[in-house]
Chain A
Amino acid sequence: MKTSIILFPGTNREKDMAMALKRVTGHDPALVWHKETDLGTPDLIILPGGFSYGDYLRCGAMAAHSPVMKEVIACAERGTRILGVCNGFQMLIETHLLPGALLKNKTLKFICKHVNLKTENGESEFTSKLGKGSVINVPVAHGEGNYFANDDILHELDDNDRVAFRYCDGNGAVTDEANPNGSTANIAGIMNKRKTILGMMPHPENATQDWQDNKSGLLLFESIVEALA
C-alpha cells in the first residue's frame, strides 16, 4: 500500500500519522511537500492535522487552494482513498470534497481530550474492522471542530450511510454531554458518497501506540490496510 501524507506549512501531526501507519504497514509513508504538483499513484492520501497557514482566514482555506490540492482533487475523482483528520477534514470541507462546515467549538476554546466515538457505518474501507455500533476512544485536539450541516445535507448523509462516527458516551449513547464541540447530530466524521474519502475531527493516529492512552485507533488503520492490500 502506497501512502502519501501531504505537508503544508503549519502541518504538525504528520509524524503522529506516520508512526501510526508504520505500525500497521511496517514501512514509512511518503511525506509530500504542498508545492508538489505530481503525486504519482498513491493508494491512500492523508491530509494530516495541524495549523496549515496558521489557521488564518478560515481553517484549511488556504491549504485548500495550494498547488498540490488540484492533484489531490484529481486523485479523489479517480477514486484514490483520502483520509483527512482534523485540519485535513477542514481542508476536505473547504475543497468541497465533503459537505458542511466546521465552526468554532461551542465553548469557543481549543479542546484536547479523549472522546468516545460510535461507529455508524461499519462497512466502509475505513471502518470495516470496527463494525457498526462499536465504540472507540480517541483524542480530539481542535478549536474549530463544530460540524455544521443544514437539514438537506444531514438527510443526504443519513440516507446514504455517510456518517462514519458520532461522539458518544462510554456506552455508545449519543448524548449532548458527550458532544465536545457542539457538532450537529454529534457528527465527528463523514464520508463521500462513494465512501472513498473520510474526514474526521478526532485523531485516531494518537491512539495507536503502547504508551498512548489506548490503541483503539489502530482498528481504523488496519481496516484501510486490509482494504487496500
Chain B
Amino acid sequence: MTNAAIQKHNHPAFNEPDVTPALGAEHGLNEDEYNLMLSIIGRAPSFTEFGIFSVMWSEHCSYKSSRLHLKKLPTEAPWVIQGPGENAGVIDIGDNQAAIFKMESHNHPSFIEPYQGAATGVGGIMRDVFTMGARPIANINALRFGSPEHPKTRHLVDGVVSGIAGYGNCMGVPTVGGEVNFHPSYNGNILVNAMTVGIAEHDKIYYARGAGIDQPVVYVGSKTGRDGIHGATMASAEFEEGVEGNRPTVQVGDPFTEKLLLEACLELMSGDAIISIQDMGAAGLTSSAVEIADKGGIGVALDLDLVPQREDMMSPYELMLSESQERMLMIVKPGKEDMARVIFEKWDLDFAVIGRTTKEQRLKINMYGECWCDIPVPPLVDDAPVYDRPQGHYPKPESIDPIAYSIPDGSDLHSVLHTLISCPDMASKRWVWEQYDHLVMGETVAEPGQADAAIVKAPPLSPPQAGGIKGGKALAISSDCTPRYCQADPFEGGKQAVAESYRNLCASGARPMAVTNNLNFGNPEKPDIMSQFVGCVEGIAEACKELHYPVISGNVSLYNETSGEAILPTPVIGGVGLIPDWKKSMSLGFKAPGETIILIGETKGHLGQSLYLREIHGLEKGPPPPVDLKAERWHGEFVRRLIDEELITAAHDISDGGLLCALAEMAMAGNRGATLTIENNDPAFWFGEDQARYIVTTKDPDALLALDECKAFPVMTLGKTTEFDLNLPNGHNISIRELKELSEKWLPAYMAA
C-alpha cells in the first residue's frame, strides 16, 4: 500500500475534505498536535486516519488536560480488584462476588435533546458495567439544572427525567437515588451524570485487555448509522449560543435492544468464549478497537464492509466515528465464533466477525476493496498530549462574621425552616423518582428518601434465591457534591464531597468501600478553571486517602461553558459501601415516640456558603465549612458501630440546611415529631453546615452515652422524639404535616406551571 494510494481516498466517493492544519483546528487539534500526528504517520494522513487521531486525542478520550492531576488520586486498597483504566472499577464484596461501577456524564447531548441525551447517557453507563460481566443492579444519577426561573429549565427537567426513566425502566434496572439541584451557573449547561452499579462473580469479570494475536474481532448489537459523529469532540468544546439549531447528530437510544444486548452478553459470558471486550461509547468503533489493541499490545485489521450498517454508502470515516448506541466489540476465542453467533441471533441482535487481531501494532482498515487507514496503535494512546495547563491565583475566601447574618426581622427559626425546606434544592424530589422504577428486580431495601444512601441487596447471581429466609449482603450507593463549596474553595469543596459521601454510607450502615467520580468543570484552558479542577482533585485525593476510600473509576467533563460562562465546579462523588447483612442497614426516619435524639460531632455554627446564607440573605459568601477528615473517619466508624450493635434506630448525616433541616427530614421521613431541649436562638447553631456530624435516635441513651467514644467525641443530647410536631424550647411548634406539604409542593407545582 503506497502513501499515495491511501491519500487518493480523501475525495472521490465521499467528498471528503483535504486534511489541513485548518481542518485540524476545526476538529480540536491544535497546531502542535497536528504536526505531531504528521510526524507519527510520516506522510499526509487520509481523512479517515485524521478523524481517528483527532478523536483519540480529544479531551474526552485522551484526558489531556486532566491526566496529570488524576494521578494524584489514590486508587488502591486490598479490596480493589480493578482501578481506573478499564470500562469500570471493580471491588471485592466477598463470597466470590464483585461490585463493578462507574459514573459518567452526558451533559452536552442532554442540553441539546434532553430526552435522548439523558437516555443514551444511562444506556452508555450501563453498557460500561455489563461489558465487564456484571449484571447492573442499581442506577443513580446526579442532575444539575439552571435556575428554575430560566425559560429552558422546566423543559430540560422534564426531558431529562423522562429520558432516564424511559431507558432505565425498560432495562429493568432500578433507579434508586441521586441528586437534583438548581443553580443559574447551569442555565446554558446542565449536568447529567449517571452511575450504574453491577455485580459479578470474580471469575466472570471481563476486561478490554488480554487480546492476543490472530483472534477474531467480533461486532455485536445494533447496526451502525451516522449517529453522533464526533460526539467526543463535541464534548470537548464550549457551547456557543445559537448552536442548538444546527445539530444533526443526536443519538437515539434503544433500551429494548440494550436489554437484549445485556442478556445476550451475560449469556455468552457465562461460558469462556470472550477474551476481551469493550463497549462502543464515545468515538465508537475507533476507541473500542484502539483500546483493545493498545491494552493487548497488538494490532487490529478491520474489514468495514462486514460491519452491520443501517444506512447506505457510509464512508470508513463515518463508520469509525459513528456513536450509534447499543454496540460492543469483542475478541472471541478462535473457534467459538459460531457458538457466540447462536446466542446473539437468539436475542435478535447483529453479530459479525469484522476483522482479526495482528502481531504488528497497527490499525488497518479496509473497505470497498481498498485500504483507508494504516497507522500505529500505541501513539494514538501513549502519545496523546498531556498538558500541565496554567493555573490562576485562586484566593481563599474571606471569613464572614456570623453575627452580621442573624435572622432578618419579621422571620424566626420556624419561618426560616419553612423557607429552606421548600427551596428548590431541598424540596422533595418525589416528582422525579416516582417516574423511575426503583423497585424492579425486587432487591430494593431503601427506597428514595428513606435512608441517606440508596440500599439494594446484592443477591447471589444464580439461581434466584427465595427471600426472607436468611440475611444477605447489600450495597449502599450515594452521589454527592456541594458545588458552591467547591466554587468558594476548591480544595475544601473537593474534600467535602468525599466526606459527605462517606457520611451518607456510614449513616446507612455501610462500610464505605470505593468511589467513582464525575469531574464537571468549565474550560481548562482558563487558568481559574484549571485552579478549580486541580484544587478539587487534590481535595478529593486527600479525603480519599484519609478515609481509605479509593477512586476506582471516573469521568472528566470539561468545557462546560456557554458563551464564556462556566458552571460551578462540580466534582460529583459516587460512593459505594458494603452492608454485610441488609437487616443491619439503617434508615433516617424517626421510628417511635419517646426515643432520645443525639447529635454526634461538633457544632461551631459555620454559616459561610450555607444554604441559610443563600436562601435567607441572598448571598453565596464566605469559606465553605472546613472538613476535619480525622473527625469524619472517627465519627463515621462510631456511627457504624452503633448500627452494628443495634444501639440506634435512625441515623442521618447533617449537610445542606444544617441541624434543624436534618431533624425536620428525620421527622418527615418517619412521620413523627420531636421535642428539642436545646435553648438556642442562634441561626448559626441551627442552620450552620459544620461537617462530620450525624443525628441518631436511640431507645437506650444510657448505654449509648456510656460508650468511650461519647467521652472522646463531641456528643450532645438534643431531645426526644414525639408523636406529632417539632417543638423547639423557645415556643415554636412546627407541624410535620405542614412541613411535608411544603416540601412536597414545590416541584410538582413548578413542573405544572
Q: Do A and B come into direct contact in the complex, CB within 8 Å?
A: yes
Binding site for B on A (CB under 8 A): 9-10, 12-13, 15-16, 18-20, 22-23, 26, 28, 49-51, 53-56, 109-113, 139, 141, 143, 203, 205-206, 208-213
Indicate if the CB atoms of A12 and B162 lie closer than 8 Å: no
Is the beta-carbon distance between A109 and B162 smaller than 8 angstroms? yes
Bound-state CA distance A208–B468 (Å) is 9
Residue in chain B with minimal CB distance to A49: B440
Q: Is the CB of A110 within 8 A of B435?
A: yes
B256→A56 contact, CB < 8 A: yes
Residue in B closest to A24 when the chains form the complex, CB atoms: B466
Q: How far is the CA of A51 from the CA of B169 in the complex (A)?
A: 8
A51 and B263 alpha carbons, distance in the complex (Å): 14
CB within 8 Å of A: which of B437-457?
437-445, 447, 457
Interface string of B150-182 (1 = CB under 8 A from A): 000000000000100110011110000000000
A211 touches B435 (CB 8 A): no
- Alpha-carbon distance between A211 and B467 when the two chains are bound, in angstroms: 8
Q: Is the CB of B255 within 8 A of A51?
A: yes
Q: Which residues of B contact A13 (CB under 8 A)?
A: 172, 440, 442
CB-CB contacts of B105-145 with A at 8 A, as 1s and 0s?
00000000000000000000000000000000000000000
Closest CB-CB distance, B254 to chain A, in whole Å?
7
Is the CB–CB distance between A55 and B464 below 8 Å?
no
Among B171, B260, B439, point to the contact of A206 (Cβ < 8 A).
Answer: B439
For the A-B complex with A53-B256, A209-B467 known, give 11 more contacts whose Cβ atoms are closer than 8 Å: A9-B260, A19-B442, A22-B464, A23-B466, A23-B468, A55-B170, A109-B162, A112-B435, A141-B439, A210-B468, A211-B443
Residues of A within 8 A of B442 (CB): 13, 15-16, 19-20, 205-206, 209, 212
B370 interface contact, C-beta 8 A: no
A99 to B27, CA, bound (A): 58
Q: A9-B348, A19-B467 are in contact. Are A54 and B255 (CB under 8 A)?
A: yes
- Provide 19 A-B residue pairs closer than 8 Å at the C-beta atoms, listed in order of the A residue: A9-B256, A9-B347, A23-B467, A49-B440, A51-B170, A51-B172, A54-B254, A56-B256, A109-B162, A111-B435, A112-B435, A112-B436, A112-B439, A205-B442, A206-B439, A211-B443, A211-B445, A211-B467, A211-B582
* Closest Cβ neighbor of B472 among chain A residues: A211
With A54-B254, A203-B439 as contacts: A12 and B464 at CB distance below 8 Å: no
Residue of A whose beta carbon sits closest to that of B457: A211
Q: Which listed residue (B172, B443, B447) contacts A12, Cβ 8 A? A: B172
What is the CA–CA distance of A213 and B433 in the complex, to the nearest angstrom? 16
| A-chain residues with CB within 8 Å of residue B166 when the two chains form the complex | 110
Verify A113–B348 contact, CB threshold 8 A: no
A112 to B439, CA, bound (A): 8
Task: List residues of chain B with CB within 8 A of the CB of A141.
Answer: 169, 437, 439-440
Please name all residues of chain A whose beta carbon is closer than 8 Å to the beta carbon of B171 when the two chains form the complex.
12
Is B254 a contact of A19 with CB atoms below 8 Å? Answer: no
- Inter-chain contact A112/B437, CB cutoff 8 Å: yes
**Interface members, chain B 396-451 (any A CB < 8 Å):** 433-445, 447
Minimum C-beta distance from A130 to chain B (A): 20
Chain B residues with CB under 8 Å of A19's CB are: 442, 464-467
Contact yes or no, A12 B256, CB < 8 A: no
Q: Which of A19, A22, A54, A112 has the most CB of B within 10 A?
A: A112
Q: How far is the CB of A51 from chain B (nearest CB, A)?
A: 4
Nearest 4 A/B pairs, CB to CB: A12-B172, A54-B256, A209-B467, A16-B442
Whose C-beta in chain B lies nearest to the C-beta of A108? B162
Say whether, besides A16-B441, A111-B435, A112-B439, A10 and B259 are in contact (CB < 8 Å): yes
| Distance in angstroms between the alpha carbons of A162 and B254 in the assembled complex | 38
In the assembled complex, the Cα of A49 lies from the Cα of B437 at a distance in Å of 12
Question: B463 on the interface (CB 8 Å rule)?
Answer: yes
Residue of B nearest to A56 (CB): B256
CB distance from B640 to the nearest CB of A (A): 19
In whole angstroms, what is the CA distance A64 to B170 when docked? 18
Q: Point out the residue from A12, A109, A205, A212 that lies within 8 Å of B444, measured CB to CB.
A: A212
Closest chain A residue, CB of each to CB of B165: A110
Check B464–A15 contact: CB distance below 8 A: yes
Interface residues of B in 581-597 (CB under 8 A from A): 582-583
A12, A56, A141, A213, most chain B CB atoms within 10 A: A12
Which residues of B are found within 8 Å of A206, using beta-carbon distances?
Answer: 439-440, 442
Q: Chain A residues with Cβ under 8 A from B162's Cβ?
A: 109-110
Is the Cβ of B435 less than 8 Å from the Cβ of A12?
Answer: no
Shortest B161–chain A CB gap in Å is 9
Contacts of A111 in B (CB 8 A): 434-435
Q: In the assembled complex, how far is the CB of residue B118 from the closest CB belonging to chain A, in whole angstroms?
A: 14
Interface centre among B170, B348, B457 (most CB of A within 10 A): B170
With contact pairs A56-B256, A206-B442 given, residues A110 and B466 touching in the complex (Cβ less than 8 Å): no
Closest beta carbon of chain B to A212's beta carbon, Å: 7
Q: Is the CB of B170 within 8 A of A10?
A: yes
User: What are the residues of chain A within 8 A of B445 when measuring CB–CB?
Assistant: 211
Residues of B within 8 A of A56 (CB): 256
Contact between chains at A16 and B170 (CB < 8 Å): no
> Which partner residue on chain A sits nearest B162 by CB separation?
A109
Question: Which chain B residues lie closer than 8 Å to A51 at the CB level?
Answer: 169-170, 172, 255-256, 259
Write out the residue numbers on chain A whose beta carbons fall within 8 Å of the beta carbon of B466: 19, 22-23, 26
A12 to B263, CA, bound (A): 11
